[in-house]
Amino acid sequence: MTHSFDKDYWEQHWHEAPGTAPAAPAETPPNPYVQRIARDLPPGTALDAGCGIGTEALELAAHGWDVLGADISSTALATAARQAAERTLSGSMTWIEADLVSWEPGRRFNLVMTNYAHPAMPQLAFYERIMDWVAPGGTLLIVGHAHDPAAMTAHGHHPPDEATVTAADVAALLAPAEWTILFADSQSRTVTAPDGQTLTLPDVVVQARRS
């Protein structure tokens, strides 16, 4: 079914999602693109815009980053905070409940990333919004869902058309005078669904450095 990505949607999503209950098993591993960032870039300040239950944010904090995780769902953030309390982090982790359609961080970061986040606004407008929060010399990492009807069916939902974009769409937002695009392409990752089924999901991945 189609839906809107408002607060009620995300609260229901995370309330029903496996892994959010207090007795849930260990969190799923972070996506490989953030693992690469954590390995290759020196630690600094980071914002995870639409952090969900904090999987990717915690990967950075474990590698020495000082991370702010922002999400609209208090349910997701409660799980994220619980997972953070159970880990040893060499960096720091802060959580904030925020609607990314209107919230402003009030500062810039060495890294701004978003991983499969869908606020209640067109996807490209969201990406253009968070670009402003990258400090000079900093990195932008955008990881999104590529349009794939089969994958959507496997997940049981059909997001609006504007919620799925191409790497070229995202790259077109980055003015050459201000940004150096390091990577902009489609990638695939394999995940295990709650029912044990193995799924190959297509991603849009864009990494750029601000001048």
pLDDT digits (tens, 9 = 90+) for 181-194: 999 999 998 887 76
The full length of the chain comes to 211
Work out the angle between the directed axes of helices 55-62 and 32-40 (0-180°, nearest 10).
20
Q: What percent of the chain has pLDDT over 70?
A: 86
Band (pLDDT 50/70/90 cuts) for residue 95 is very high
pLDDT (mean) for 19-35 = 69
Structural domain tally of the chain? 1
d(CA 14, CA 10) in angstroms, rounded, equals: 6
d(CA 159, CA 70): 21
Tokens representing 48 are 């995870």
CA 33/CA 110 separation, integer angstroms: 16
In a domain, 201, yes or no: yes
Whether residue 135 is contained in a domain is answered as: yes
Residue 37, domain extent: 7-21+28-210
Beta strand 109-115 with 179-192 is unpaired
Specify the pLDDT at position 195.
77
Residue 23 pLDDT grade (very low, low, confident, very high; cuts 50, 70, 90): very low
